[in-house]
Amino acid sequence: MLKEFREFIMRGNVLDLAVAVIIGAAFGAIISSLVKDILTPIIGLLLGGADFTNLFINLSGGSYATLADAQAAGAVTINYGVFLNAVINFLIIAFAIFLIVRQANRMRKQPEAAPTTKECPYCRSTIPIQATRCAHCTSELRAA
């Protein structure tokens, strides 16, 4: 059983998954910092410091100025402002990841290599691009 477990752990898929989880956690911290420390303050400035945290519906019947006051009093509340903040943060994070992945894909794109073969116009076989005569049908090829 120990041997089977060792073989299972040493499979490429398991190691790749472990590396992906670790890198994903580190990348998640970077994205969270990007959103929290850079993008959210800019968006907050553009929206005039809008904060939805204190938007709530009090089901207990009392009147409270802030959500923290209502929670401290033990009031039952529907915290739709906190939900709106979570949705907005999700959209910001998703957009930031989209931009990063899009840029990474652009940088990873390899330029297309020049072709090394061409097709013989007579027999349609593949021949080297420098060929002046087809090796298959022996036809003389025009210089391109």
**What was the pLDDT predicted at 12?**
66
Q: What distance in Å separates the CA atoms of residue 29 and residue 103, rounded to the nearest whole number?
A: 19
Q: Looking at 1-144, list the stretches that DSSP marks H as alpha helix, in order from N- to C-terminal side.
A: 2-9, 12-33, 40-46, 67-72, 80-108
**What was the pLDDT predicted at 106?**
87
pTM reported for the whole predicted model: 0.54
Number of H helices, E strands in the chain: 5, 4
**What was the pLDDT predicted at 69?**
92
| Amino acid occupying residue 116 | T
Radius of gyration of the chain from Cα atoms? 31
Query: How many Cβ atoms sit within 10 Å of the Cβ of residue 67?
Result: 18
* DSSP code at position 129: T
**What was the pLDDT predicted at 104?**
86
Query: How many Cβ atoms sit within 10 Å of the Cβ of residue 35?
Result: 21
Low-confidence ranges of the chain (pLDDT < 70): 12, 143-144
